[in-house]
A and B are shown apart, each in its own frame.
Chain A
């Protein structure tokens, strides 16, 4: 039951981001570029042999974050704090074995990586995110599967919620039926998913699908994109400089 509620919350988030789509995607920068810069930053942090580079990136990220509304800050920081605490817990034996710096370095790297991804996820809608993968020449099958997963997550989530409500209405008093009811919901949802995937596949063949999966809207590269591209050499220079500084 609790898991179902969590799923509903996730679905609700996707639905809301879709409805608020034009308002949410205010950034004029090409999502593929933002994704590339994010991956590069994470890669460089992972490669970094000291904490200076990581701390500098975290400082810049936090400075950007502090101008955001409190609710946004909390949404971004929640997964970051959780993952960092988990990482610290896992790395705790390193302290007892005389390597306290390892704990700090790894935890900082986790903090930085999750912060970048969380920040990216909060500012780009899932639609633009999959478009970004497409622009970066990710295999069409991968992009298509990602889009389809999102779609089915919402549709089946809605469907399972409806069944859950129906079961709740019928389950008056008898608590021993709980597990059977949940199994029934999962089973019915699975069968429905199978039927839906067949119908979707038929709908796609009716529209001449031959594996090509493109986006209609194309992003025109402008000055903000050019300026944002400058971040790539800047990050690399900073990385090289901080590694030499050690």
Chain B
């Protein structure tokens, strides 16, 4: 479904990704590990259509994702509808006034009916145990609560591809265990999960396929 064909990316002549070729399949959970600065976050930004490869091709469902195609708002909307991204720092990702507004935000953008929005918001509030904090401002929540809120906001849009950038970083032991078991529950044949992490034990527990980014910014199968 996601096809990376010899992609490279550099920030003002500083390479971040170097000749990456890989095909991500549906129904699998991928864990990406690698040292700091190896290009994991850049790769995730490319997979989310936020950056575009300097060279090579990024195909999503056979469609070429380029700066030009992503400028078409219908195409961009259709693409983002299929790819959900949970940022490493949830605080940045959460911008609405309340937790329930945060979950409803993406759903309103999808032009869903009010009933559908209501049903999904209530479902994900219950699923991620956000009942007690539903009226709180997301930026005032603890790290674990923010992570759950960010997950709920993205999951509510029901994207077939879920990309999580270091989902357990900054969480306490209980929070880490909860996220781990939740990701295991999320795994299904019609969903692809791609996770960046520094923790090998977490990667071993959740991943079907473990990948590694090298210091040379290349992607290898572990």
Question: Is there an interface contact between B106 and A19, defined as CB atoms closer than 8 Å?
Answer: no
- Compute how far the CA of A213 lies from the CA of B104 in the bound complex, rounded to whole angstroms: 10
Most buried by A among B93, B117, B136, B139: B139
User: Closest Cβ of chain B: how far from A18's Cβ, in Å?
Assistant: 5
Interface stretch, picked from A52-60, A107-115, A200-208, is A200-208
* Per-residue interface assignment for chain B, residues 74 to 111, with 1 indicating a CB less than 8 Å from any chain A CB and 0 otherwise: 00110011011101010111011110110111101110
B38 in the interface (beta carbon within 8 A): no
| Choice from B45, B98, B110, B157 contacting A127 with Cβ under 8 Å | B98
Interface size on A, residues (CB 8 A): 32
B154 in the interface (beta carbon within 8 A): yes
Which residues between 198 and 222 of chain A lie within 8 Å of chain B, taking CB atoms?
199-200, 202-210, 212-217
| Choice from A19, A131, A200, A208 contacting B136 with Cβ under 8 Å | A19
- Compute how far the CA of A204 lies from the CA of B97 in the bound complex, rounded to whole angstroms: 14
Residues of B within 8 A of A (CB): 45, 48, 50, 73, 76-77, 80-81, 83-85, 87, 89, 91-93, 95-98, 100-101, 103-106, 108-110, 117, 121, 135-137, 139-140, 153-154, 157
Q: List 16 A-B contacts (CB under 8 A).
A: A18-B137, A18-B140, A130-B97, A155-B139, A200-B92, A200-B93, A203-B95, A204-B95, A205-B80, A207-B153, A210-B73, A212-B109, A214-B104, A216-B117, A216-B121, A217-B101
Residues of A within 8 A of B (CB): 15, 18-19, 21-22, 127, 130-131, 147-148, 150-151, 154-155, 196, 199-200, 202-210, 212-217
